[in-house]
Amino acid sequence: MNPTTRRQFLKSLGLATLATGFPAIVTAATTRPHVIVIGGGFAGATAAKYLRHWSTAVDVTLIEANANYNSCILSNLVLNNQMNMSQITFNYNVLAQKYGIRVINDWVNGVDGNNQTVSLRGGTTLAYDRLIIAPGVQFLPVTGLDSNVIPHAWKAGVQTTLLQQQLAAMPNNGKFVMTIPAKPYRCPPGPYERACVVADYLKRNKPGATVTVLDANADIVAERETFNHAFTVTYAGIVNYVPNAVLTAVDSARKIAHTSLGDYTADVLNVIPPQSAGEIIHSTGLANVGGHWAGVNPLSYESTAVANIHVIGDSQGTGQPKAGHIANAEAKVCADAILRLLGGNPPFAAPVTNSACYSPISATTASWLTAAFAYDTVSRTMKIVPESSGEASAPSRQNYQRMFDWANNLFADTFA
Ligand SMILES: Cc1cc2nc3c(=O)[nH]c(=O)nc-3n(C[C@H](O)[C@H](O)[C@H](O)COP(=O)(O)OP(=O)(O)OC[C@H]3O[C@@H](n4cnc5c(N)ncnc54)[C@H](O)[C@@H]3O)c2cc1C
């Protein structure tokens, strides 16, 4: 379609802003609005799916670096051999075949917000009418840290397997030491859940072994009562929880964590580094919240820095937790808003999102946490809804079983 005809078409849909930003480079000529999604995690894959689920009038391209996606959710259960990686690995075949999403496995090198184009490492440049960026987090550097030796296992995959192997090889009476970065970081209860799962594994398999949790935060960040009880009662004598321990450097060869409270030597050292929005958020000039996260309008997740670009998932800076369940919810709000905007209408004015985490406490019990957020018209932010938020009174076997129902629903809602 030539540019003039396309402008007329877009104008007829009420897409005035798109008409002014007609891209200079178009590799796939199309007569229909084109939405590109960068990142095929819980946020991006859900957004791509629901755009096409709710409208066949848009073309959707999903660009994801990897052919397979390893879920962080449930990945702590790989560490204690309750699951294996293949059970939490997904691909994009259903999104492509059932929903007609064009899936490209490549790395996005750059975004040109003025010309509305995306450049891929493979050399292709694609034009978009609306762009969703959902790249998750990147890790900030830690002096001396070699993640090939000292795994973070905070992006699931080879890192998870490496940590699992290190735990399996750990001696009796060995020391597992883990570090937690200052918030905000991906999955607020996740590190404490990991401490419990590892403590349970060591209790059963490595007599005399201990878990030291070096937390940069002043207190347990999520499910405080549950984890405090687990650390001081369930795993008394095994878990040593140390608040206000800020990691300053790592000796990767000798497995030493240098912290503001002293040095801790480990047999297995698990460093979860401080985090920031994915690289592409920074290079596109979107990280305008504290220099780390992308400011967005929570009605549409459109960036407050660059028009026609939306940011969802861990990279967004609305203050909502960085978690997969709520990333899936944000994706639906964003997809709905984009379809409304493409039709010349404003986004829905009262979006609600919710977050849920089941936290395994042992190989048979789990706890849970949920929080709902609603758009506040005065502050124009997402505010927690206390009456719809809460946590389990105690870990239970029933919660452990329900955890798999919850996760399977989320996986299906994202990838199938
Ligand atoms: C141990 C652990 C347990 C967790 N448990 C829970 C839980 O119980 N409940 C819950 O809700 N959340 C949980 N989480 C958090 C959850 O995994 C994350 O919040 C979620 O994955 C964020 O989704 P996302 O789509 O924003 O990012 P990601 O899932 O990280 O997806 C981002 C994708 O973007 C791709 N990408 C990045 N940059 C580019 C680029 N330039 N070009 C192409 N592709 C790119 C990446 O390859 C990646 O696939 C847990 C996390 C951990 C570590």
- Sign of dihedral through CA atoms 202, 206, 208, 210? negative
User: Does the CB atom of residue 184 touch ligand 1 within 6 A?
Assistant: no
Closest ligand 1 atom to the C-alpha of 76?
1
Atom 4 (ligand 1) nearest CA: 73
Closest to 65 measured CA to CA, from 127, 11, 131, 136: 136
Over residues 18-42, the pLDDT tens digits come to 332 222 233 444 579 999 999 999 9
Mean pLDDT of 241-265: 98
Q: Which of 187, 330, 332 to mutate to test the pocket of ligand 1 (most atoms within 8 A of CB)?
A: 187
Statement: residue 119 has pLDDT above 50 = yes
Per-residue confidence (pLDDT) for residue 185, from 0 to 100? 98
Residue 304 Cα to ligand 1 middle (Å) = 22
Tell the residue nearest (CA) to atom 3 of ligand 1.
73
Rounded to the nearest 10 degrees, the angle between the axes of helix 397-415 and helix 324-342 is 30
* SS3 per residue for 99-123: HCCEEEECCEEEEECCCCEEEECCC
Point out which residues pair with 89 in neighbouring strands: 70
Pocket probe for ligand 1: among 125, 186, 271, 361, the residue whose CB has the most ligand atoms within 8 Å is: 186
Q: Are 140 and 290 in contact (CB under 8 A)?
A: no
Residue 40 CB less than 6 A away from ligand 1: yes
Q: Could you tell me the residue ranges of all domains in the chain?
A: 3-65+106-138+276-348, 141-273+356-415
Between CA 35 and CA 47 the distance in angstroms is: 10
Question: Percent of the chain beyond pLDDT 70?
Answer: 93
Dist. CA 321–CA 249, nearest whole Å: 27
**Mean pLDDT, residues 237-257 taken together:** 98
348 pocket-lining for ligand 1 (C-beta < 6 Å):
no
Mean pLDDT for the chain overall = 93
Q: Which atom of ligand 1 is nearest to the CA of 355?
A: 11
The architecture in CATH of the region 3-65+106-138+276-348 reads: 3-Layer(bba) Sandwich (3.50)
Q: What is the mean pLDDT of residues 332-336?
A: 98
Please write the tens of the pLDDT for every residue from 99-113: 999 999 999 999 999
User: Roughly how many angstroms between the first and final C-alpha of the chain, as a whole number?
Assistant: 33
CB of 69 shorter than 6 A to ligand 1 = yes
- 180-222 pLDDT, tens digit per residue, is 999 999 999 999 999 999 999 999 999 999 999 999 999 999 9
Q: Which atom of ligand 1 is nearest to the CA of 358?
A: 8
> According to the model, what pLDDT value does residue 31 have?
79
Give the tens place of pLDDT for each residue, 373-398. Answer: 999 999 999 999 999 999 999 999 99
Same topology between domain 3-65+106-138+276-348 and domain 141-273+356-415: yes
Selection from 387, 307, 317, 315 nearest residue 354 by Cα: 387
**Topology classification of domain 141-273+356-415:** FAD/NAD(P)-binding domain (3.50.50)
Which atom of ligand 1 is found nearest the CA of 136? 27
Atom in ligand 1 nearest the alpha carbon of residue 359: 8
The pLDDT value given to residue 29: 44
CA of 383 to the centre of ligand 1 (A): 23
